[in-house]
Every structure is written in C-alpha cells, then in structure tokens.
Structure 1
Amino acid sequence: MHERNTVDGRELHARTAARCEELPGAELTHPFGDEWDVYKVRGKVFMLQSALDGVPIVNLKASPADGRALRESHTDITPGYHMNKRHWITVRAGGRIDPDLLDDLVTESYLLVVANLPKYQRPVNPETFGQTPEV
C-alpha cells in the first residue's frame, strides 16, 4: 500500500459517505446525535464519522490482522476510537492516504458486517460482492 495523496476532512467524510451510498442496504442514521454519522446495514453498524478535537475521523471494522497491518503502515490509521481496538480502526483526516484505499476500507467493513448477518438478511453475497463475473 503506497500513500500518495493528502485527504482533508471534507474529502475524508465525503468520499467514505459516497462509498456507503453505493453499498446495497446501507443506511445513514444518527443514534448518537448529529455529531456522529452512523452507517448501518440491516441495523448493524459498519462505519461511523465524526470529529475529534476538530479533526474529522472515520471508524471502520477491520479483521484483526488487517487492522494491525494498516496501523503499522499508515500513521493516519489508529485503533478504533471508542470501539473494540481489535476489530475497529480509525482513519484520521489530514494525513497521506490513498483515496482508493478509503473505498476499499469502507467496502471491507461493510462486507465483514454482512458476512455475520443471517443469510436471508444479506443484501449481497460477501464472498462474491464486487467481483467481475467471468465471461
């Protein structure tokens, strides 16, 4: 993973929110007040947006191994703020992170949640979502 672009706060929140809007069954909620945008799929949280000390952040689910690797390779990614540190990461604005990586992180968080839903509730198959069908 190669860091190349600076992502400011507006871009961080706009880009991750736009990716959420593309995901089947994703919905924006505000269970913790207007300061927190909480994205859910079938009632389960997969992304939260807010700001810490004026710096925009995004909390996302990640597998423990991926979360550890991301934290080690990106200074803008830390253990999940107010979340289970093993299963969540926080991405902070203002640093250098590839915007395409943000899309991938949102998608992976969504798929981790979808995979734990009962099959009849899943809006997509988490094993095949996003794959191009063979022709």
Structure 2
Amino acid sequence: MVHSSRRDRVIAECGAKPGSVEDYPFGDGVAVFKVAGKMFALVPLGPSPGSVSLKCDPDLAIDLRRQYAAITAGYHLNKRHWNTVTLDGSVPDGELLDLIDHSYELVVARLPRAERDKLNT
C-alpha cells in the first residue's frame, strides 16, 4: 500500500464505524473522527507518510511503542491513553486496522448504555 492510499484507507476505516462522524474542530488540516461526540482518531492531512492518533489501553500502548518505532506517545494528546502511528508501512496493515478497531471500541465502551444501543454494535 502506498503512503497516500494508506492514509485514505485509515480515513475510510474510521468513517465506516457505526455512528462515526468526521469533523474538523482544529481546522482543515486534521480530520477528527468521533462517535457520540467523543474522539477516537485524529488524522493529520499534511505531507506523506502521514499519521493517525488512536486511543489505546495504556498497557498495550507501552507494548506497542516498544515493538514499533513508528508508534509513539500521542502527539498533543494524553500520552498515557493515545498513540500516534506513522503511516510509513512499518506497522502491518492488519495491526493498524486492529488498532483503529481498538480505539473505537474503547470509546464506545465508555458511552452511556443508551448511546451504545443506538450504535447497534
């Protein structure tokens, strides 16, 4: 997968989640994906290779940062709960998609039951 299509695929995956809304609260340069008003992914739209910031279980976040040079503490985010993944291809696509799912599921799990029920997840 080339760099720009990797970012496009990340954006498509985030946008395909039930209840996902793409927003630009920080300006045109960062696509922010939310579910029930809560962020689960931030995708800067700058130069390649690009990156995505995702919510992550703190213990898993530390393991991932040890395993992959392309995964670092969340850029401008709570470094305990967010990772930033450089989309340079060094993190396998399957792992990247799993991390998007993980981020989304962490946010959904903290929503009130009524909000979760609306998502039918």
TM-score above 0.5, yes or no = yes
* Correspondence for 2:9: 15
Bigger Cα Rg: 1
Tell me, yes or no, if structure 1 residue 119 matches structure 2 residue 110: no
CA distance in 2, matches of 1:89, 1:50: 14
Is there any run of 5+ residues in structure 2 with no aligned partner, and where?
A: none
Q: 1:51 Cα shift? A: 5.4
Which runs of structure 1 show a deviation greater than 4 angstroms over 4 or more consecutive aligned residues?
51-55
C-alpha distance 22-51 of structure 1, shift in aligned 2 (>3 A): closer
Q: 1:110 Cα shift? A: 0.3
> 1:8 touches 1:93 (CA, 8 Å); kept in 2?
no
Moved more, 47-56 or 25-34: 47-56
C-alpha distance 63-124 of structure 1, shift in aligned 2 (>3 A): farther
CA distance in 2, matches of 1:104, 1:92: 15
- What's the TM-score, normalizing by structure 2? 0.89
Is there any run of 5+ residues in structure 1 with no aligned partner, and where?
A: 1-6, 126-135
CA distance in 2, matches of 1:90, 1:76: 8
Q: 1:11 Cα shift? A: 2.9
Moved more, 115-124 or 8-17: 8-17
Among all aligned residue pairs of Structure 1 and Structure 2, give the percentage whose two residues are the same amino acid. 39
